[in-house]
Copies of this chain bind each other. A is one copy, B any other.
């Protein structure tokens, strides 16, 4: 066995993405320009932010009429009622609400702060982005574009940074997946001592998006990263496969 090695390369020089832009094409061109040709088996991690922008998933707060509930929540916590309104519209369920922080289950089933509604890294001063309507489809479209433009098969992960209970700080997770199985199921496999691994399912896709964030820092607005050398199972996996079923989750 020789040491495994991974390379993680940020894609820089990506121009401002506008509604209707083809994210796959934009990234292939930016990668080419910096001399990083995509290779077969690469994992391309793309931030939700540029995907949402390209898909027109931006909401101008000036166009939002807040409901009574949104106004009441906003008044209580000194927030913008229109922002709260967008959060509520993106939500299927409010999981927790305290000190003005809304932890919501999005229509897709993701549980995160503000239902993924975010004001950072948006050009227009009164605009927020909301999550892509179908992040798996977004990932699939990027993957198809990369294949058609370069002839190489990559896996694509659409990433966002989510908080979590018990631990401080956000970590990146995969909300959209294309071309790979997002989980590694070790159950039934044996460890180096021949013992069966019991409860071992690893969220590989989430770990890969975390890798990406280590080189693509928030404030730098690096919208995509290539992870090269990762072993993964190619397949039809989805971001939804990373969601814990309601009936199996002790925390709902």
Interface residues of A (CB under 8 A from B): 1-13, 34, 36, 96, 98, 101, 103, 110-111, 113, 119-123, 125, 161, 164-173, 182-184, 186, 189-193, 195, 197-204, 206-208, 210-211, 213-222, 227, 229-231, 241-244, 249-252
Cβ contacts A to B, 30 pairs, < 8 Å? A1-B12, A2-B34, A3-B36, A4-B222, A5-B7, A6-B214, A7-B7, A8-B8, A110-B166, A111-B166, A120-B191, A121-B193, A121-B195, A122-B195, A166-B244, A166-B249, A168-B201, A168-B242, A169-B202, A171-B206, A171-B207, A190-B219, A191-B219, A197-B219, A200-B218, A202-B213, A206-B210, A208-B214, A210-B210, A211-B214
| Interface pair B221/A192, CB less than 8 Å apart | yes
| Interface pair A214/B221, CB less than 8 Å apart | no
Neighbour of A203 across the interface among B8, B170, B219, B251, CB < 8 A: B170
In the A-B complex, list the 5 residue pairs whose CB atoms are closest, starting with the nearest.
Answer: A169-B203, A165-B251, A6-B8, A207-B210, A192-B221
| Interface pair A113/B250, CB less than 8 Å apart | no
| Interface pair A207/B213, CB less than 8 Å apart | yes
A213 vs B111: C-alpha distance in the bound complex, in angstroms? 24
A2 vs B172: C-alpha distance in the bound complex, in angstroms? 23
Point out the residues of chain B lying under 8 angstroms from A189, CB to CB: 219
5 further A-B contacts with Cβ under 8 Å, apart from A167-B206, A169-B201, A215-B230, are: A120-B195, A165-B250, A167-B203, A169-B182, A192-B220
Point out the residues of chain B lying under 8 angstroms from A120, CB to CB: 191, 195, 197-198, 200
| Interface pair A169/B242, CB less than 8 Å apart | yes
Distance to closest chain B CB from A193 (angstroms): 6
